[in-house]
A and B are shown apart, each in its own frame.
Chain A
């Protein structure tokens, strides 16, 4: 993963813009991204995931410059190669746990094949039991009925199913209490180790730093400007 001379500014906000000269992560690396609130961490993750596109620059993921892809190709690329985890409310409440885990496969045929094709559901059930959720009880349960901690762990499975190369997580532990944070991090580390993917995670919690290969402060890679006084989120 490699960013070069990237420039982006939000259209609808008070002129927040972010510029990154160079930011690269090696394949298989685990990186913790830190920075004060409103400094643009989530913006950077959105750029990397291809949910938003930079006005200039190159964002290469596994050798593909996603900034240059047509929007539909970019969405497909994300579906195939990136697993995303948010801070909270990761799951679609009206779908079952199983359907939530399998959701990205509907937009990514290759990833579906990697997940075992028609066996994907069986694989998802195995994964559920590995994170401590009995598939017989939880596979068909509406996601909205799970506890927040359980939902976050299911979100990990969704990000990891079909082994996308890059996992991006935006403060996935901040909505959890200490015990659940530990359970979450354990599941995440274990599954990523098994899959051998790259991890970029944003967190305010520096106590997690030892679990990562390195910690990057946003200020050290990105320059942020606010044209008019911005109301930081």
Chain B
């Protein structure tokens, strides 16, 4: 067929304008696919952060809030719950394992997590991966500390280094107890989860940090010595949250009800998967907003394409008259312009798709390292194919506008085109 060939040659001939138009469409499609990939990546990263845990327990609060502070270390717990309650949970016959966390302290902007060595063996992330030690081992001594991968990398800590942990969550703790330093006993391999940005100590160590702080005010005087602390019975009094693995998933909802109605203390138990769904229903509004914006960016690019074709149309009246003279019908002229729009749409879309994947391949590892969001480079799925198909369809439909104008012109023009 001569018409598609003409369309292609005409576009190749027009150079700059066409390249820019295609580039615009490509950028917009890149954005469209990119936003979608990031959305997917965020979701699967969030979901991957709590793989293998059946229930999360904390003081009474909304399930999303509990998820956010316990798993993602975003925001603060409204309250802690007592060690007695924790022990009762641990002793429950349906519970296979339990890992407590005690939050509230920090080191140079990174959170310090009090926990048990089970933390390193029971918790799973991303498709059921277990944590791995890049160096060293879990804490054994009271003043041992285990660093997440990003903490070690950002602050340049090595095995055996001494670290001072402050009370509170400020980036610079005013009240650091320089006389009670911790020693780095282990550094975890990267997980792509908030674990990378945490420092881990034993529950007893959390108590140790808080010796002399019981009154609530800033301690005065020299403070209790390390030796004296070591001699103390550092029984934890509270924990912030606990991750539970059950013997059988069938008991999940029964146990959840039991915990939610716990008589001695106001507790909440959440099923991570369900809490995530609730979280998505909140973030969906933002995602939808973002998607609408990207759709408008695509529309803008397509309108730009129509404007370009329309602008060139007047200069091409001659060309159309020549085509009519050699026997082309107005319908051929119509087809020529639609074909040009489709070509630009297809080129832009494919280029944009390639660009998006190239960007993910290039920037993906860096994004994973700094945000813990793994962008997958799977072959384009039905979703991407549908989006790209829609963009091309939109380009074709938009191409009808200049095509119709050219059609009308070619009906109205005689052999002598008058400009």
Contact = CB atoms under 8 A, between A and B. Distances in A.
Interface in A43-79: 43, 45-46, 49, 51-52, 71-72, 75-76, 78-79
B327 interface: yes
B332 to A, nearest CB: 8
Interface of A: 11-12, 42-43, 45-46, 49, 51-52, 71-72, 75-76, 78-80, 84, 86-87, 89-95, 103-104, 106-108, 158, 168, 170, 233
B412 A12 contact: yes
B416 A86 contact: yes
B12 interface: yes
Contact of A46 (B9, B318, B327, B414): B414
B278 to A, nearest CB: 59
B324 interface: yes
Contact of B326 (A11, A12, A45, A104): A104
Contact of A11 (B12, B13, B412, B416): B412
User: Could you say which of B6, B329, B412, B418 has the most chain A C-beta atoms within 10 Å of its C-beta?
Assistant: B329
Given A72-B331, A170-B415, A51 B322 contact: no
28 contacts: A12-B412, A42-B414, A45-B415, A46-B416, A49-B325, A51-B325, A51-B414, A52-B414, A71-B329, A72-B329, A75-B324, A75-B327, A75-B332, A78-B325, A79-B327, A80-B327, A84-B325, A84-B326, A86-B415, A87-B416, A92-B319, A92-B322, A92-B323, A93-B13, A103-B323, A103-B326, A170-B415, A233-B418
Contacts of A233: 416, 418
Which among A84, A87, A158, A233 has the greatest number of chain B C-beta atoms within 10 A?
A: A84
B327 A76 contact: yes
Interface in B313-362: 318-319, 321-332
Contacts of B121: none
For chain B, the bracket of interface size reads 20 to 34
A89 B416 contact: no
B359 to A, nearest CB: 34
Most buried by A among B10, B318, B319, B416: B416
Interface of B: 2, 6, 9-10, 12-13, 318-319, 321-332, 412-416, 418
B328 A107 contact: yes
Contacts of A12: 412
- Dominant SS among interface residues on chain B: helix
Given A46-B416, A92-B319, A94-B9, 8 more contacts: A46-B414, A46-B415, A52-B414, A75-B324, A76-B329, A93-B13, A94-B10, A103-B2
B415 A158 contact: no
A158 B416 contact: no
A17 to B, nearest CB: 14
B329 to A, nearest CB: 4
A93 B329 CA distance: 20
A158 B10 CA distance: 19
A125 to B, nearest CB: 19
Nearest to B1: A106
Given A95-B9, A106-B2, A51 B415 contact: yes
Contacts of B322: 86, 89-92, 103
Given A89-B318, A91-B322, A106-B2, A84 B328 contact: no
Contact of B414 (A43, A76, A87, A108): A43
A51 to B, nearest CB: 6
A11 B326 CA distance: 24
B280 to A, nearest CB: 52
B324 A51 contact: yes
Contacts of A90: 322
Contacts of B324: 51, 75
B227 to A, nearest CB: 90
B10 A42 contact: no
A76 B331 CA distance: 12
Nearest to B9: A94
Contacts of A11: 412
B13 A94 contact: yes
Given A42-B414, A45-B415, A106-B2, A94 B325 contact: no
Contacts of B13: 93-94
Nearest to A86: B415
A174 B415 CA distance: 16
A43 B417 CA distance: 11
A94 B415 contact: no
